[in-house]
Amino acid sequence: MQHDHSDSIQRLKIIEGHIRGIQRMLENDQYCIDVIRQIQAVQAALNKISVKLLDGHLNSCVLTAIQGEDAEERTRVLKEITEMFETTTKV
C-alpha cells in the first residue's frame, strides 16, 4: 500500500535543521539547559511523526490484516505492534 509521507518528510527536513543548530550550540559551548531544551523539542517533533505513522499503519496495514482471512498475518501485525511498544519502553 502506497502512503503519502510528504508531510512527514518535510517535518524531518525541519528537524534535520534543528539538529544542525544543536550541533552549533554545542560547538559554541552554549548553556546546557538551552541545548537540552532544543533536544527535547526535536524529540517531541520526532514523536509527532511516529504517532502519525503509527496512525496510518493502524488504519491501513493492521486494519486490512485484521479484516482479512489470513490468521498468520493477523498474528504477525499484532505481534509487530506489541514488539514496537516493548522496544519504545526500554531506556
- Ranges of H-type helices in the chain: 6-27, 32-57, 63-67, 71-89
Q: What is the spatial distance between Cα 14 and Cα 17, in angstroms, rounded to a whole number?
A: 5
Q: Give the residue numbers spanning the domain of 17.
A: 6-89
pLDDT of amino acid 88:
82
Domain of 52, CATH number, reads 1.20.58.1000
CA-angle at 12, arms to 7 and 50, nearest 5°: 75
User: Looking at the domain assignment, is residue 1 inside a domain?
Assistant: no
pLDDT higher than 80, residue 91: no
Q: Is the pLDDT score of 3 beyond 90?
A: no
pLDDT digits (tens, 9 = 90+) for 14-70: 999 999 999 999 999 999 999 999 999 999 999 999 999 999 999 999 999 999 999
Could you tell me the pTM of the whole model?
A: 0.83
Q: What is the number of domains present in the chain?
A: 1
Neighbours of 74 (CB within 10 A): 16
